[in-house]
Amino acid sequence: MHKTLCLALLLAASAAHALAADDATSKQTADFRQWQKRADAEQAAADSALTDLQQRAAAGDATAQFELGALYYLGQGVPQDYAQAAVWWERAATQDHVDAQFNLGALYGEGQGVAQDYSQARAWYEKAAAQGDASAQHNLGVLYAEGQGVAQDYAQARAWFEKAAAQDDANAQNSLGILYNNGHGVAQDYAQAHTWYEKAAAKGDSHAQYNLGYLYYEGKGVTQDYGQARAWWEKAAAQGDAGAQYNLGVLYAKGLGVAQDYGQTRTWYEKAAAQGYAQAQYNLGALYGNGQGVPKNNAQARLWWEKAAAQTDNKEAQQAAQQALQKIPQ
């Protein structure tokens, strides 16, 4: 009897669970229908908003034209289409819409949706820069520094960088630091480079953080300080800067500002190597070839040296890897 009673209770419990499951299923279905209705309503509203935006853009509303271009660029609500983005941004830009002017300059600079044309990029950046747009002022400075669409002119680059830097633009502050670092358009001045890098680095600019670390590593414009170099490179590396990741690996390999640690060296080289940084790939192969921080492994050494040898943007690492491959056993 006791067993039968227990069994009956179990059956009852099972039945109760079954009923609860059925109720839950019914509720979920009802919730789904409510969600579907909301989704349909939201889609209808989005379609209506897009139609309204298209009508306002076609009627000549510059803000609507800019926003429609942004939708085409991002592929939101419409198929992604850089050419259409360019069309609508140009219509807005001709009405002095500063963001459209900047974006159109960027499209010409990158060759997205239009044929790459640095002269056109310059023309549109100039219009936005004249309206005080700091990013356009910086990018215009880059064109002068690189001689793209204009004759190379570091004095003009500096002038535009200074305008943007005065608006606290971190990119421009870093670019000014580079001019002073290299003595382009100004007398070489590492202390000035340090000042500008520091301003940009404090805003979180990873390039400036890398450059600031390099000044401390070399002792240029500052007292040489490997600890400070490490600190700034760690900030840049945390943002994915491959050069900073590689340099941290070098510090740990040499024991500069840190205790020598080939395990840490391997970790940082791996991060940089995964981003295609040729020197890190070569050095990682050397760690495996020499058994430093990892068990000696010729197959892994070969793998990383082959990656470095395939690189074309770093001839030194490429040639070193090619030579190493000739010596390693098959």
Residue 21 has pLDDT above 60, yes or no: no
Which pLDDT tens digit goes with each residue over 95-120?
999 999 999 999 999 999 999 999 99
Same domain for 234 and 146:
yes
pLDDT, residue 31, reads: 62
Same domain for 151 and 215:
yes
Same domain for 144 and 122:
no
> pTM of the entire structure?
0.80
Which pLDDT tens digit goes with each residue over 261-276?
999 999 999 999 999 9
Which pLDDT tens digit goes with each residue over 277-286?
999 998 999 9
Residue 234 has pLDDT above 50, yes or no: yes
Tell me, what CATH number does 146's domain have?
A: 1.25.40.10
Same domain for 106 and 69:
yes
What average pLDDT does this structure show over 84-103? 96
Residue 16 has pLDDT above 90, yes or no: no
Binned at pLDDT 50, 70 and 90, residue 298 comes out as confident
Domain that holds residue 292: 248-330
Same domain for 235 and 148:
yes
Binned at pLDDT 50, 70 and 90, residue 34 comes out as low
- Assess if residue 103 is contained within a domain: yes
| 3-state SS record for the chain | CHHHHHHHHHHHHHHHHHHHHHHHHHHHHHHHHHHHHHHHHHHHHHHHHHHHHHHHHHCCCHHHHHHHHHHHHHCCCCCCCHHHHHHHHHHHHCCCCHHHHHHHHHHHHHCCCCCCCHHHHHHHHHHHHHCCCHHHHHHHHHHHHHCCCCCCCHHHHHHHHHHHHCCCCHHHHHHHHHHHHHCCCCCCCHHHHHHHHHHHHHCCCHHHHHHHHHHHHHCCCCCCCHHHHHHHHHHHHHCCCHHHHHHHHHHHHHCCCCCCCHHHHHHHHHHHHCCCCHHHHHHHHHHHHHCCCCCCCHHHHHHHHHHHHCCCCCHHHHHHHHHHHHHCCC
Of 88, 115, 131, the residue at which a domain comes to its end is 131
| Structural domain total, the chain | 3
- Assess if residue 46 is contained within a domain: no
